[in-house]
C-alpha cells in the first residue's frame, strides 16, 4: 500500500528544516556510510551525519509533525520510529534499485527495529530540480512519485525502489523507517480502509449504532493483529 500524505510539514516547519540543512556545512557526509552491502554500490548521495546537532534539531521538527498527522498514524500504525534522516542529491547523484534492510539498529538506544514501512518526506519544490523521482515496484508495477515540498509518501519497505538521477538542481528530502504495530501489510491496508470509511460515516452523520459497531470491529482487529 502506497499512501501519499499532503502537508506533513507546514510552511514554517518546512522553512526551519530547509534553512538548517542548507547551513549544515561539514555535517553533510557520504550517504554510503549507512548503506548495506546491497545498497552501497548503487548509492550516490549525501546525508546529514546522524550524530550532528543539525540532525537532532531537524529530527525534532519532523517527529513532532508526524505525531500530529492523523493520516500517518492511521496508515502506518507506528510502534517504533527510526529517527528521521536527511539526504541531498545534486547533479549526477542517484540511488539505484535496492530493497531496504529488514532490520536496523536504533542509533539512540541500540535496539533492533523491524522496517515495515519506508517513508520519504520531500523538502524541495518539484520544479526546482529535474530527475530525482522516487520509483517503487508494487502489485501494479513501477510507481513514480515526486511530491510537493512538505508532502510525504509511505510504502512497504519490502518494495524494490530507487531515486532516479538528478540532472538539474538539488533535491533535499527526509527519510526514515517505521516498525508498525501491525506487521502484515495487507492487514494494515484493511485497517486503513476501515478507518477511512468510519471517518466518512462520522462526517455524514450516519447511524450511530452502526458506526459504534464498526469502531468496535476496527479495535478488535487491531487487538488481534497487533504485535505489542
> In the structure grid, which three cell numbers stand for residue 56, read together?
537532532
Over its length of 228 residues, how does the chain's per-residue pLDDT go in tens digits?
899 999 999 999 999 999 999 999 999 999 888 766 666 788 899 999 999 999 999 999 999 999 999 999 999 999 999 999 999 999 999 999 999 999 999 988 999 999 999 999 999 999 999 999 999 987 778 899 999 999 999 999 999 999 999 999 999 999 999 999 999 999 999 999 999 999 999 999 999 999 999 999 999 999 999 987
Q: Domain of 73: which CATH number?
A: 2.60.120.620
Enter the pTM of the model: 0.93
Q: Residue 9: give the domain boundaries.
A: 3-180
User: Which residues does 109 contact at the CB level (< 8 Å), separation at least 6?
Assistant: none
Say whether both 114 and 196 belong to one domain: no
Whether 207 and 121 map to the same domain: the answer is: no
Looking at the fold, whether 173 and 200 belong to one and the same domain comes out as no
Q: In this structure, what are the phi and psi dihedrals at residue 210, rounded to the nearest 5 degrees?
A: -65, -40
CB 172 within 8 A of CB 123: yes
117 and 218 together in one domain: no
Number of domains present in the structure of the chain = 2
Q: Are residues 113 and 133 in the same domain?
A: yes
Residues 18 and 44 occupy one common structural domain: yes
**Pair 111, 217 in one domain:** no
Which CATH number do you get for residue 193? 4.10.860.20
Residues 150 and 191 in one domain: no
| Together in a domain, 62 and 117 | yes
Q: Are residues 162 and 218 in the same domain?
A: no
Same domain assignment for residues 96 and 117: yes
Which strand ranges, in their side-by-side order, compose the sheet holding 94-98? 43-44, 94-98, 161-163, 134-138, 141-145
Residues 148 and 217 in one domain: no
C-alpha cell at 132: 530525482
Got the DSSP string for 85-99? Answer: EEEEE-TT-EEEEE-
Strands (E), the chain: 3-5, 28-30, 43-44, 46-48, 78-81, 85-89, 94-98, 103-105, 112-114, 117-122, 129-130, 134-138, 141-145, 152-156, 161-163, 168-169, 171-180
Amino acid at each position: 500500500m502506497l499512501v501519499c500524505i499532503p502537508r506533513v510539514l507546514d510552511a514554517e516547519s518546512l522553512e526551519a528544516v530547509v534553512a538548517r540543512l542548507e547551513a549544515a556545512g561539514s555535517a553533510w557526509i557520504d550517504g554510503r556510510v549507512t548503506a548495506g552491502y546491497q545498497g552501497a554500490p548503487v548509492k550516490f548521495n549525501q546525508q546529514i551525519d546522524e550524530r550532528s546537532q543539525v540532525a537532532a534539531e531537524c529530527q525534532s521538527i519532523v517527529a513532532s509533525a508526524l505525531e500530529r498527522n492523523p493520516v500517518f498514524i492511521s496508515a502506518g500504525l507506528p510502534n517504533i520510529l527510526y529517527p528521521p534522516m536527511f539526504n541531498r542529491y545534486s547533479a549526477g547523484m542517484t540511488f539505484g534499485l535496492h530493497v531496504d534492510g529488514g532490520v536496523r539498529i536504533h542509533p539512540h538506544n541500540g535496539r533492533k527495529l523491524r522496517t515495515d514501512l519506508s517513508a520519504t518526506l520531500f523538502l524541495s519544490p518539484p520544479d526546482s530540480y529535474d530527475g530525482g523521482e522516487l520509483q517503487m515496484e508494487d502489485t501494479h508495477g513501477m510507481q513514480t512519485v515526486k511530491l510537493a515540498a512538505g508532502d510525504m509518501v509511505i510504502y512497504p519497505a519490502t518494495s524494490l525502489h530507487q531515486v532516479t538521477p538528478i540532472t538539474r538542481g538539488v533535491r533535499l528530502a527526509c527519510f526514515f523507517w517505521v516498525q508498525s504495530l501491525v506487521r502484515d501489510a495487507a492487514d494494515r491496508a484493511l485497517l486503513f480502509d476501515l478507518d477511512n470509511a468510519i471517518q466518512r460515516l462520522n462526517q455524514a452523520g450516519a447511524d450511530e449504532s452502526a458506526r459504534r459497531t464498526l469502531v468496535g470491529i476496527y479495535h478488535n482487529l487491531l487487538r488481534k493483529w497487533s504485535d505489542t
